[in-house]
A and B are shown apart, each in its own frame.
Chain A
Amino acid sequence: MATGTTEYAVRRNPEMGPGGTPVLSPTEPFDAPEPELGSETMLVNVGPQHPATHGVLRLVVELDGETVVSVVPRLGYLHSSFEKLGEYRTFNQIVTLTDRMDYLAPLIYNCAYVMAVEKLMGIEVTERCKVARVICMEMDRIFSHLLWLGTWAIDVGAFTPFLYAFQQREKVYTLHEALTGARITTSATRIGGMMADLPEGWTKGVREFADNLPATLDEIDTLLTCNAIHIGRTQGIGAISAEEAVNHGLTGANLRASGVPYDVRKDRPYYDYESYDFEVPIGCHGDCYDRYLVRMEEMRQSIRILHQALDRLPGGPMDVEDPRISLPSKTDCMSDMESMIHHFKLITDGIPAPAEDCWFSVEGSKGELGMYVVGDGGPKPVRWRIRPPSFVNLSAIPKLAEGHLMADLIMINASLDIVLGEIDR
Chain B
Amino acid sequence: MTADSSSGGSFSGFDLVAAGPGVAREDTGAAPAPGSVAPGNPSVTALRERFPGAVLRNEICAGDEDVVYVDPARIAEILRWLHDDPDRHYDHLADVTAVDYGGGRPLEVVYQLWSIPHRAALRVKCELPLDALEIESVTGIWAGANWLEREVYDLFGITFAGHPDLRRILMPDNYAEGHPLRKDFPLRGRFSRAEQTRRALTQDPEDYYVPGEIAERVPQVVEEAGAAAGEGEGAG
A–B pairs, 20, beta carbons within 8 Å: A41-B211, A45-B209, A76-B172, A122-B62, A122-B63, A247-B144, A267-B119, A318-B1, A322-B21, A323-B4, A324-B16, A324-B19, A326-B3, A342-B14, A352-B18, A357-B123, A372-B97, A375-B22, A392-B144, A395-B147
CA–CA, A341 and B180, complex, Å: 37
> Which of chain B's residues 63-120 have a Cβ closer than 8 Å to chain A?
63, 65, 67, 91-95, 97, 99-102, 110, 112, 116, 119
B235 adjacent to chain A (CB < 8 Å):
no
Q: Is the CB of B116 within 8 A of A351?
A: no
Known contacts A247-B143, A395-B144; A76 and B62 CB within 8 A of each other:
no
User: Which residues of A line the B interface, CB within 8 A?
Assistant: 40-41, 43, 45, 60, 62, 70, 72, 74-76, 79, 81, 83-85, 88, 119-123, 192-193, 196-197, 244, 246-251, 260, 262, 267-268, 317-329, 332, 335-336, 338-339, 341-342, 345-346, 349, 351-354, 356-359, 361, 368, 370, 372, 374-377, 379, 382-383, 385, 387, 391-392, 394-396, 399, 424-425
Q: Is the CB of A122 within 8 A of B3?
A: no
- CB contacts (< 8 Å) of B21 on chain A: these are 121-123, 322, 324-325, 351-352
CA–CA, A346 and B95, complex, Å: 33
Q: Is the CB of A372 within 8 A of B110?
A: yes
CA–CA, A83 and B61, complex, Å: 21
B17 adjacent to chain A (CB < 8 Å):
yes
B29 adjacent to chain A (CB < 8 Å):
no
Q: Which of B24, B95, B208 contacts A370 (CB 8 A)?
A: B95
> Which of chain B's residues 132-165 have a Cβ closer than 8 Å to chain A?
142-148, 151, 155
CA–CA, A332 and B6, complex, Å: 9
CA–CA, A387 and B144, complex, Å: 12
- CB contacts (< 8 Å) of B171 on chain A: these are 76, 79
Q: Is the CB of A341 within 8 A of B116?
A: no
- CB contacts (< 8 Å) of A251 on chain B: these are 92
- CB contacts (< 8 Å) of A43 on chain B: these are 209, 211, 214
**A289 smallest CB distance to B (angstroms):** 23
Q: Is the CB of B214 within 8 A of A357?
A: no
Q: Is the CB of A338 within 8 A of B8?
A: yes
Q: Is the CB of B65 within 8 A of A358?
A: yes
> Which of chain B's residues 3-31 have a Cβ closer than 8 Å to chain A?
3-5, 7-8, 10-11, 14, 16-22, 24-26, 31
Q: Is the CB of B123 within 8 A of A76?
A: no
Per the CB 8 Å criterion, the residue count for chain B at the interface is: 64
Number of A-B contacts (CB under 8 A): 220
Known contacts A75-B170, A325-B3; A385 and B211 CB within 8 A of each other:
no
Q: Is the CB of B169 within 8 A of A76?
A: yes
Q: Is the CB of B144 within 8 A of A332?
A: no
Instruction: Name the residue of chain A whose CB is nearest to the CB of B208.
Output: A60
Q: Is the CB of B101 within 8 A of A382?
A: yes
- CB contacts (< 8 Å) of A267 on chain B: these are 116, 119
Q: Is the CB of A62 within 8 A of B94?
A: no
**B143 smallest CB distance to A (angstroms):** 5
CA–CA, A378 and B10, complex, Å: 24
Q: Is the CB of A392 within 8 A of B170?
A: no
B121 adjacent to chain A (CB < 8 Å):
yes
**A244 smallest CB distance to B (angstroms):** 8
Q: Is the CB of B95 within 8 A of A372?
A: yes
**B57 smallest CB distance to A (angstroms):** 15
CA–CA, A356 and B172, complex, Å: 33
B197 adjacent to chain A (CB < 8 Å):
no
Q: Which of A41, A60, A328, A392 contacts B3 (CB 8 A)?
A: A328
Known contacts A72-B215, A249-B144, A260-B116; A356 and B61 CB within 8 A of each other:
yes
Instruction: Name the residue of chain B whose CB is nearest to the CB of A123.
Output: B21
CA–CA, A267 and B100, complex, Å: 31
Q: Is the CB of A356 within 8 A of B62?
A: yes
Q: Is the CB of A336 within 8 A of B62?
A: no
Known contacts A83-B155, A119-B63, A336-B7; 16 additional CB pairs below 8 A are A72-B215, A74-B208, A81-B180, A249-B93, A319-B1, A324-B21, A327-B2, A328-B2, A332-B4, A336-B8, A341-B14, A342-B4, A349-B18, A372-B97, A376-B101, A377-B22
Q: Is the CB of B61 within 8 A of A345?
A: no
- CB contacts (< 8 Å) of A317 on chain B: these are 1-2
Q: Is the CB of B148 within 8 A of A392?
A: yes
Q: Is the CB of B62 within 8 A of A72?
A: no
CA–CA, A392 and B145, complex, Å: 8
Q: Is the CB of B7 within 8 A of A246?
A: no
- CB contacts (< 8 Å) of B54 on chain A: these are none
Known contacts A325-B21, A354-B25, A375-B22; A248 and B62 CB within 8 A of each other:
no
Known contacts A267-B119, A345-B17, A356-B31; A328 and B4 CB within 8 A of each other:
yes
Known contacts A122-B22, A317-B1, A370-B94; A332 and B8 CB within 8 A of each other:
yes
Q: Is the CB of B143 within 8 A of A322?
A: no
**A202 smallest CB distance to B (angstroms):** 14
- CB contacts (< 8 Å) of B7 on chain A: these are 332, 335-336, 338-339
Q: Is the CB of A84 within 8 A of B61?
A: no
Q: Is the CB of A83 within 8 A of B112?
A: no
Q: Is the CB of B94 within 8 A of A70?
A: no
CA–CA, A121 and B61, complex, Å: 11
Known contacts A247-B142, A338-B7, A392-B148; A196 and B1 CB within 8 A of each other:
yes
